[in-house]
Amino acid sequence: MPEQGNRRLLAFDFGTRRIGVASGQELLGTGQPLAMIPARDGIPDWQQVEKLLAEWQPDVVLVGLPLNMDDTENDMCARARKFGKRLHGRFHVPVEMVDERLTSFEAKGDVMAAGGSRDFGHHGVDDRAAVLILETWCREQAG
């Protein structure tokens, strides 16, 4: 694994219908939207996930943890953690959970500011949220 500060990253914004994916490098501290993987009740097409992991070969995989504003966990936190554990178990990659409070809200604002539709489902909100998860993690590592 490369030294800290120079790692390749893949971030996932877990959702029950779609999972946004972004890639980036810790050194740059920024991410790029990569994909939106359809999911059925939170279960992704694992072949698509495997293909992304094989192509990007991340040193660390990040999964957003949608904590409540008062730091408590909810049902989606448990599901996101389970997704992270499955990523680790299936693909043997290091997985870190990242506090993603407000990333979907911020991502919707970014999409709207760029002229996107209010129909967020196909306009990059989920993969944009994954970018924000990745960038949040990078800031925490640098801080």
Residue 3: inside a domain, yes or no? no
CATH number of the domain within which 82 lies: 3.30.420.140
Residue 106: inside a domain, yes or no? yes
Residue 2: inside a domain, yes or no? no
**Global confidence as pTM:** 0.85
Residue 1: inside a domain, yes or no? no
Residue 143: its pLDDT value, please? Answer: 73
Per-residue pLDDT reduced to its tens digit, 104-139? 555 556 555 555 554 444 446 778 889 999 999 998
Burial class (CB in 10 A: 0-12, 13-18, 19+), 142: exposed
Cβ atoms of residues 77 and 88 within 8 Å: no
Residue 101: its pLDDT value, please? Answer: 80
Closest C-alpha to 137, from 46, 62, 38 = 62
Residue 122: its pLDDT value, please? Answer: 44
All residue ranges of the chain with pLDDT < 70 are 1, 102-124
